[in-house]
């Protein structure tokens, strides 16, 4: 196709040159010394290159370019050539669905693969470094697409005043009878790089350099800086990235970080980070959903529950329980999802329980892999679920025509899990009964009484003791269009949530009304979500400005402690 190229470069082109199009990834609009960053050597370069490579006036073409050395004695100029050139370097790790890396193709065809793991890792690092330079250069040379437009929605005049005029700090405690403490919470699935590369078919709409971690992380960190939440609940936090750069970057912003990695082969997990200027840590409780002795619980998802002490200017014993999780994705395993949720709720009940038997204010964030209105979602909000006759494929509502038609068993999880149908630890429940003066009868039961007890244990009704509301309403009232928290090549739905224990039952329905409550959380405002149509105007997710396939959720609360 490129007859003017020498034979050596034509061979190179079969593997490396995909397009000669200036709109593609590798733009040479700037001087090559500013945009080229080659590490080590590439398969088509027989000599090592340093970082950065210095194209000085005394530089000469290496021997492998062959006939191109004649150009040194002509009027040909490198800068003139590069103005119209564009190379697109492919990445075998990010093939579209159905594609296979060249190493795998060689193994399948019976050819011997002489490359070592170290060499493959080195090559991958080289490509990533090159793609990062390409992506940064492209952003500098071309205008960005429009950013997603999101705005704050306020639910009371006081919150709006605080946002517009921070000088009025005395509004923090405008009543002598109660201590008020305002804070913001973010929930954000930042998209693990390993999961991105394992599911590259979901990101066919994205330009490849925008998907490398070295480009994505600065964008994610910038979002966190701009939104400036007091508490961060992050999902899909990759372990090596967390240890190498995420934790230190967040600590430099004033956060203390708690992290729980998944128990399986996928090296990512959940993190809760809070500003030490706003909170102090009382306790941190990781939750592992994998149980070796229970076949149902063979998945590696995790959760994390923190108990935080607000740093108030007045004497108070207030505490806030913050939970974060990422439930199983599989739409056909609603039985596992419900069991994981019950395990998380049991740990929250254990951590948030006060001495008088009540619960401190609770906030639950995460990617629940369930849509609004689904049985799992309704269970969280309503506190009860009768799952008798419910197919496991309909629990999360992810599929309109679910393939999992098996009915949920009664009970869903075995008794040896140690969690009751009320989503509390059974041992703690028994101790609570003993502390309240209730005696456990040890009398011999007749056959009829045994049947009654057995039927109670086999109840198909799940319950929990928290009165939870959702920060978001999930639909735009003006148009009825659904809000979207995640968007990729195959779907755009809501699966991310921030649930909280409201100060009273009417606070979510009437957010503008000041209420006399016995303490709790009041929703002051939230960062508005967008529609699927809005996201595709910026080429979906991820894009140049938003480097995850999820949007960050952000809400402002007021802790009212009488």
Residues in the chain: 562
- Starting at the edge strand that comes first in sequence, how are the strands of the sheet with 268-275 ordered? 152-154, 520-527, 553-561, 179-189, 231-238, 268-275, 255-261
CA distances from 56 to 31, 134, 151, 312, 360 (A): 11, 21, 49, 61, 66
Q: How far apart are CA 375 and CA 389, in angstroms?
A: 12
pLDDT at 145: 52
Beta bridge partner(s), residue 525: 154, 556
Residue-wise DSSP of 259-312: EEE-SSSS-EEEEEEEETTTEEEEEEEEEE---TT-TT-----EEEEEEEEE--
Q: How many CB atoms lie within 10 A of CB 208?
A: 19
Pairing assessment for the beta strands 461-463 and 553-561 based on DSSP bridges: unpaired
Q: What is the DSSP string of 438-462?
A: PPPP-PPPPHHHHHHHHHHHT--EE
For 149, residues 6+ apart whose C-beta sits below 8 A from its C-beta are 530, 534
Q: Give domain status of residue 103, yes or no.
A: no
Distance CA 298, CA 195 (A): 19
Say how far apart CA 493 and CA 530 lie, in whole Å.
11
Q: Say which residues have a Cβ less than 8 Å from residue 121's Cβ, sequence separation at least 6.
A: none
CATH of the domain at 237: 3.60.10.10
411 domain residue, yes or no:
yes
Contact 409, 296 (CB under 8 A): no
Between the alpha carbon of residue 303 and those of residues 234, 346, 364, the distances in Å are: 11, 12, 10
**179-189 and 231-238 beta bridge pairing:** parallel
Flag whether 60 is in a domain.
no
Q: Which domain holds residue 478?
A: 179-399+406-423+458-504+520-560
- Tokens describing residue 342: 């019950």
- The answer to whether the beta carbons of residues 551 and 541 sit under 8 Å apart is yes
Task: Provide the pLDDT for residue 318.
Answer: 86
User: Which residue in this structure is represented by tokens 């088509």?
Assistant: 44
Tokens 């508490």 belong to: 231
Residues in CB range of 275: below 8 A, 6 or more apart: 230, 231, 254, 255, 256
Q: How many CB atoms lie within 10 A of CB 97?
A: 10
Q: Under a CB-based contact definition with an 8 Å cutoff, are residues 413 and 419 in contact? A: yes
* Residue 69 within a domain: no
Token output for 157: 């005049």
SS3 44: coil
Query: Do the domain assignments include residue 295?
Result: yes
Q: Does the residue 244 lie in any domain?
A: yes
Contact 321, 346 (CB under 8 A): no
| pLDDT value of position 400 | 87
Residue reference for tokens 């609603």: 334
Residue 470 makes CB contacts below 8 A (sequence gap 6+) with 381, 497, 498, 499, 508
Q: Would strands 461-463 and 152-154 be described as parallel, antiparallel, or unpaired?
A: unpaired
Residue 478 falls inside a structural domain: yes
CA–CA dist 445, 462 (Å, integer): 26
Instruction: Report yes or no: 154 and 164 within 8 Å, Cβ to Cβ.
Output: no
Whether residue 178 is preceded by a cis peptide bond, meaning omega within 30 degrees of 0, is no
Number of domain units in the chain: 1
Q: Are 25 and 208 in contact (CB under 8 A)?
A: yes
pLDDT at 125: 54
What sign does the CA torsion over 71, 72, 76, 80 have?
positive
Alpha-carbon separation of residue 234 from 191, 192, 365, 447, 463 (angstroms) = 10, 11, 9, 52, 27
- Ranges of residues in the chain whose predicted pLDDT is under 70: 1-146, 157-179, 313-317, 404, 428-457, 505-519, 562
In a domain, 416, yes or no: yes
Residues 6+ apart with CB under 8 A from 70: none
Could you tell me which residues are beta bridge partners of residue 501? 468
CB 285 within 8 Å of CB 347: yes
């Amino acid at each position: 196709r490129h007859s003017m190229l020498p034979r050596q470069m034509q061979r190179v082109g079969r593997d490396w040159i995909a397009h000669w199009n200036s709109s593609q990834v590798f733009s040479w609009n700037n001087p090559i010394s500013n945009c080229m960053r080659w590490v080590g050597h590439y398969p088509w370069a027989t000599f090592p290159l340093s970082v950065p490579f210095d194209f000085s006036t005394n530089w000469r073409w290496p021997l492998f370019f062959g006939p191109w050395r004649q150009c040194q004695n002509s009027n040909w100029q490198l800068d003139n050539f590069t103005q119209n050139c564009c190379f697109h370097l492919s990445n075998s790790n990010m093939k579209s669905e159905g594609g296979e890396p060249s190493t795998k193709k060689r193994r399948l065809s019976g050819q011997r693969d002489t490359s070592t793991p170290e060499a493959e890792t080195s090559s991958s690092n080289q490509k990533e470094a090159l793609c990062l330079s390409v992506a940064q250069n492209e952003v500098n040379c071309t205008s960005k697409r429009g950013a997603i437009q999101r705005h704050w929605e306020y639910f009371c005049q006081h919150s709006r005043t605080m946002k517009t005029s921070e000088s009025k700090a005395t509004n923090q405690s405008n009543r002598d009878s109660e201590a008020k403490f305002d804070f913001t919470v973010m929930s954000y699935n930042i998209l693990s790089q390993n999961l991105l590369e394992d599911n590259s078919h979901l990101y066919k709409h994205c330009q490849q350099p925008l998907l490398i971690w070295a480009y994505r992380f600065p964008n994610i960190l910038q979002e966190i800086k701009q939104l400036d939440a007091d508490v961060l609940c992050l999902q899909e936090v990759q372990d090596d990235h967390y240890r190498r750069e995420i934790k230190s970057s967040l600590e430099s912003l004033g956060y203390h970080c708690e992290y729980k990695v998944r128990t399986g082969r996928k090296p990512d997990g959940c993190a809760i980070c809070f500003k030490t200027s706003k909170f102090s840590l009382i306790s941190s409780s990781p939750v592992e959903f994998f149980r070796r002795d229970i076949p149902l619980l063979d998945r590696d998802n995790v959760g994390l529950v923190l108990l935080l002490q607000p740093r108030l200017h007045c004497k108070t014993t207030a505490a806030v329980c913050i939970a974060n999780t990422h439930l199983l994705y599989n739409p056909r395993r609603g039985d596992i999802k419900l069991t994981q949720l019950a395990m998380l709720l049991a740990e929250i009940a254990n951590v948030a329980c006060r001495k008088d038997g009540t619960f401190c204010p609770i906030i639950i964030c995460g990617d629940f892999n369930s849509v609004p209105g689904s049985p799992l979602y309704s269970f969280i909000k309503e506190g009860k679920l009768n799952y008798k006759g419910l197919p496991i494929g309909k629990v999360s509502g992810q599929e309109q025509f679910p393939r999992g038609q098996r009915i949920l068993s009664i009970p869903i999880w075995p008794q040896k899990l140690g969690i009751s149908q009320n989503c509390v630890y059974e041992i703690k429940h028994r101790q609570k009964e003993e502390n309240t003066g209730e005696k456990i009868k040890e009398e011999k039961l007749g056959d009829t009484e045994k049947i009654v007890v057995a039927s109670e244990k086999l109840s198909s009704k799940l319950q929990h003791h928290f009165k939870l509301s959702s920060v978001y309403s999930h639909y735009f009232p003006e148009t009825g269009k659904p809000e979207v928290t995640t968007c990729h090549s195959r779907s755009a739905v809501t699966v991310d949530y921030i649930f909280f224990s409201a100060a009273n039952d009417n606070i979510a329905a009437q957010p503008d009304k000041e209420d006399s409550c016995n303490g709790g959380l009041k929703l002051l405002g939230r960062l508005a979500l967008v529609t699927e149509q809005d996201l595709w105007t910026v080429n979906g997710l991820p894009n140049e400005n938003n480097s995850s396939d999820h949007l960050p959720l952000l809400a402002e609360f007021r802790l009212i402690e009488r």
